[in-house]
Amino acid sequence: MKISLGAKTLAQPAPVWAVGAFDVNGKPNAMIAAWGGICSSDPASVYVSLRPSRHTYAGVMEHGAFTVSVCPAELAAEADYLGMVSGKKEDKFAATGLTPVTSDVVNAPYVGEFPLIIECELSDTLELGIHILCVGRIVDVKCDEDKLVDGKHPDMEKILPMIFSPGTRSYYTVGEKIGQGFSLGKKYMK
Amino acid sequence: MKISLGAKTLAQPAPVWAVGAFDVNGKPNAMIAAWGGICSSDPASVYVSLRPSRHTYAGVMEHGAFTVSVCPAELAAEADYLGMVSGKKEDKFAATGLTPVTSDVVNAPYVGEFPLIIECELSDTLELGIHILCVGRIVDVKCDEDKLVDGKHPDMEKILPMIFSPGTRSYYTVGEKIGQGFSLGKKYMK
């Protein structure tokens, strides 16, 4: 039997991404976002929803660019910290020992220790209540060489991205491979 | 060393959600979307990006409503099929044996066998190249009673939502719990 839970943000899975931006003074900063996803295939685009009060939001607007660093399970404590304090008060890179790396294609920093990076130019914004949906046109994707399949596809089994469960507010890692998309369903084709 | 992969949609993890809508003739239909996510906390909102050529897109525009049914690992073949054929030609519910259930709060169907449902009224659209980002204001969330924590939070460990890895186009399930959000990072707090 299904139970009604009300109008809440209880969809899952949600990602755990570090959104990187230079702040208005040029200092590298990163915050955690679980409200994010790919939003167009062509031009390849990704979004993160940010609150205007966030230090990162001002930086993204100032510089018109941001990065998404996919948080791996092995650096969960560092990632979680990036979502607990504000870059207004703390240098989150210094506190965690993570390394801010300036993108070579957009005016934003990413987290050097995180295995998969999406580098974006801000292309659109959409105001949705307390969040601003910020769309980034993907300029490049960078992945650690040892975490690729066939030298070109990021390997989820090696990256082991963190997964967020809204509601319980807990983090999970990736489990077993179920199978290939556009293949499992063939059993139902006429 | 990081390798440049180009401007591609290689962010991860991505969800595997069945987007439910009545078509323009009132027939229940569902398609799979991996380009989706929560996009605002208040009002609680979720988005899916759809191609205008999709049968589901016309239904969402006609009725101003859609549902998101979170695909569980145990029904991966059924879910995959929903992304392989068009509702223009096939009755995907009949083919898979899945049950279309009409929402009691919005004018759209959901997948009865899937454990977690988000029911939405279309609130905004944003054209982004070949995809239209469709924002739904969440009207209600429904979850199978036996898949709740404390009677109110969807339990990721019991729902076991499918996870999509763009690039390799493969599906994964959820693995071990890493820990609690807003807790693991305390070790870095001053």
> A76: which chain B residues are within 8 Å (Cβ-Cβ)?
178-179, 184
- From CA A160, how far away is CA B114, in angstroms rounded? 25
Token pair of B132, please? 């239209």
- So what's the pLDDT on residue A150? 93
Q: Is B99 helix (H, G, I), strand (E, B) or coil?
A: coil
> What pLDDT, in 10s, does the model give residues A90-101?
999 999 999 999
Are A154 and B184 inside 8 Å of each other by CB? no
Angle at B7 between CA B6 and CA B13, to 5 degrees: 100
Q: Look at B169 and A154 and tell me if their CB atoms are within 8 Å.
A: no
**Tens-digit pLDDT profile for residues B83-104:** 999 999 999 999 999 999 999 9
Contact state of A128 with B40 under an 8 Å Cβ cutoff: yes
Q: Do A39 and B44 touch (CB under 8 A)?
A: no
Q: Where are the extended beta strands (E) located within chain A?
A: 2-6, 14-15, 17-22, 28-33, 36-41, 44-50, 65-70, 100-102, 109-111, 116-128, 131-144, 148-149, 153-154, 163-165, 170-180
Kindly give the residue spans of alpha helices, DSSP state H, lying in A40-91: 55-63, 76-82
Q: A161 to chain B: which residues are within 8 Å by CB?
A: 12-13
Q: How far apart are CA A18 and CA A96, in angstroms?
A: 13
Using the beta-carbon criterion (under 8 Å), do A5 and B142 form an inter-chain contact?
yes
Location of structure tokens 């929402």: B103
Please tell me the predicted confidence (pLDDT) of residue A190. 80
pLDDT (0 to 100) of residue B131: 97
Contacts of A45 in chain B (CB under 8 A): 9, 128-129
Q: What is the pLDDT of residues A149-162, one digit of tens each?
A: 999 999 999 999 99
User: Residue A154: closest CA among chain B residues belongs to which residue?
Assistant: B167
* H/E stretch holding B120: strand B116-128
What confidence score (pLDDT) does residue B10 get? 98
- How far away is chain A from the Cα of B58, in angstroms, using its nearest Cα? 18
Residues in chain B with pLDDT values less than 70: none
How far apart CA B139 and CA B43 sit, in angstroms, is 10
Sign of the CA dihedral with A8 first, then A67, A44, and A114 last: negative
Whole-angstrom Cα Rg for chain A = 17
pLDDT computed for residue B178 by the predictor: 98
pLDDT tens over chain A, length 190 residues? 999 999 999 999 999 999 999 999 999 999 999 999 999 999 999 999 999 999 999 999 999 999 999 999 999 999 999 999 999 999 999 999 999 999 999 999 999 999 999 999 999 999 999 999 999 999 999 999 999 999 999 999 999 999 999 999 999 999 999 999 999 999 999 8
A135 and chain B in contact, CB less than 8 A: yes
Tell me A72's DSSP state: B
